Amino acid sequence: MKVIIKKGKARGRVEAPPSKSMAHRMLICAGLSKGTSVVEGIAESRDVLATVECLEAMGVKCVRSGESMTVTGIDILKAAPERTLDCNESGSTLRFFVPLCLLSGAEAVLTGSRRLMERPLGIYKDLCRERGLLFSQEDGSVRVRGPLKPGKFKLAGNVSSQFISGLLFALPLLDGDSLITITPPVESRSYIDMTIASLATFGVKVLWQDENTICIKGGQEYKAGKVRVEGDYSNAAFFEALNVFGGDVIIDNLNPDSIQGDRVYGKMFEQLKNGTPILNVSDCPDLGPILFAVAAAGNGGIFSGTGRLKIKESNRGEVMAEELRKFGTSVKVYEDEIIIYPAEFKKPEKPVAGHNDHRIVMTAAILLTLTGGEIEGAEAVTKSFPDFFEKLTSLGIEVEKIEDKS
């Protein structure tokens, strides 16, 4: 899909969509609970739907009504997957479900898009090899078989917190206590805390022993309940960027006491407006693209901790550099650092490419409110924020969608 955006200032109120990260976690906890839970605030993003479909493949019953999902859980320790678990393009879904599939001792197959299956899974491969469990990755799928036993687990903290979260879902259900030791630096700690908070909401307690060690008591049970997914700060950041660019937008549906790490966007935007700061994005990698955009349209910026952007839906550092150059911006990309130099910002002569990455598309759309222009591959927004362009239109930005002919 191609999208044409006209230059303009955004004004009005907009509601932040439900947090995709929190939705994954709440739905999984509900699926592991005895009884029936209601999870409110579920958006129809492709990533969240992938988690729902994988739960259903495990035998969980999920019934949607509007923005609510009624979830009837299963005894995951006895569950054998009824079919292949298709994670689509969702890294969270894949990494959260591998440990869950190791619980029963039944063989499970997980698959997904080509790009997803290229993303790192070595931590689970090594974990399974060390414990004599099956982990086989070939032909675009992963085959695993447990049963996983409680014990001590040592994981690298600089690859993805999703591996740690995946184990946190599974280990409390085992018949003994476990310990996760994370080799520093622990990046995206806020996402681990989000998982721990979700577990607590469903009656499962795990504790930080120190800043690198998590204690998990075994023999616990998830308790069904009614919960609401809070608004998403990572997607709200796109609308806040419109204010940096001279708009007047009020964003609703955000919890001021949220533990989401992406809450830092306000502080970072302020630093970018007032100078050329050095910002570390290792704990908020999803903010990377929109932070780069704000820097490019303003005073520039130096960003550290950018190495993990290579293993997202696209190589976000490289593709953002490629697209920002179309606006006349000079960008240098290093192994774990990106430097954006201030320059005269201009309308792109060529369409901005979406690179099959929802955050690249949304970043491009916000930038084009300054200049006008086109985005190709704009359908990628459906991964996390299907009605993004409708929200942008509601703020007075003229958007024209041109569907692909096929």
Residues designated catalytic: 286
Tokens representing 87? 């994670």
Exposure of 184 in the CB half-sphere (CA atoms within 13 A): 5
Alpha carbon 304 to chain centroid, angstroms: 20
Residue type at 105? Answer: G
Phi/psi of residue 78, nearest 5 degrees: -115, 0
For residues 42 and 229, the answer to whether their CB atoms sit within 8 Å is yes
134 SS3 class:
strand
Tokens of residue 375, six digits: 């985005």
Identify the CA nearest to 320 among candidates 299, 298, 345, 295. 295
Alpha carbon distance 391, 386 (integer Å): 10
Pairing mode, strands 68-72 and 36-40: antiparallel
Q: Which amino acid is at 156?
A: A
Cβ neighbour number for residue 292 with a 10 Å cutoff: 28
CA distance 129 to 122: 10
To the nearest 10 degrees (0 to 180), the angle between helices 91-101 and 122-130 is: 10
